Amino acid sequence: MQGLFFETDTGVRTVLRFLVLLIGFWTAWRTGKAVAEGWEGYARVFIYVLGLGVVMRFLHFSLFAGPFISPFYYVIDVVLLLAFAVAGFQSRRTTQMVDNYYWLYDRTSYFSWKNKD
């Protein structure tokens, strides 16, 4: 398929890498939001992100011939995915607290709330 959409193989790989990262980060964000929807805690987010890290390693292995069993790259994937998952979790939890307990809490930012005075 080389030459059909792009001039070189590096163009295809760059686009695919961007799409894989975008899908992975979006999935981590949605995972964090889903855990918050169920009123679960950060431990559940961490467990789900560990599994998502394995999936991302597999995608890098199958699409880009990267190492599949590499603790170094797995930890990097998990840390990046965990950042997005925690952000999604915290944004959803803030919305839940402010909307469900509107008489107790005010929103201070997208990721936090405070007690009403």
Average pLDDT per block of 10 residues along the chain, 117 residues long:
57 85 96 96 97 95 88 94 97 95 94 91
- Quickly list DSSP for the chain: -TTTS-SSHHHHHHHHHHHHHHHHHHHHHHHHHHHHHTT--HHHHHHHHHHHHHHHHHHHHHHH---SS-HHHHHHHHHHHHHHHHHHHHHHHHHHHHHHTTTTEEEEETTEEEE--
Q: Are 70 and 57 in contact (CB under 8 A)?
A: yes
Task: Take residue 38 and report the two structure tokens written for it.
Answer: 């169920």
Residues 6+ apart with CB under 8 A from 101: none
State residue 6's pLDDT score: 52
State residue 66's pLDDT score: 85
State residue 8's pLDDT score: 60
In the chain, where the domains are located: 11-86
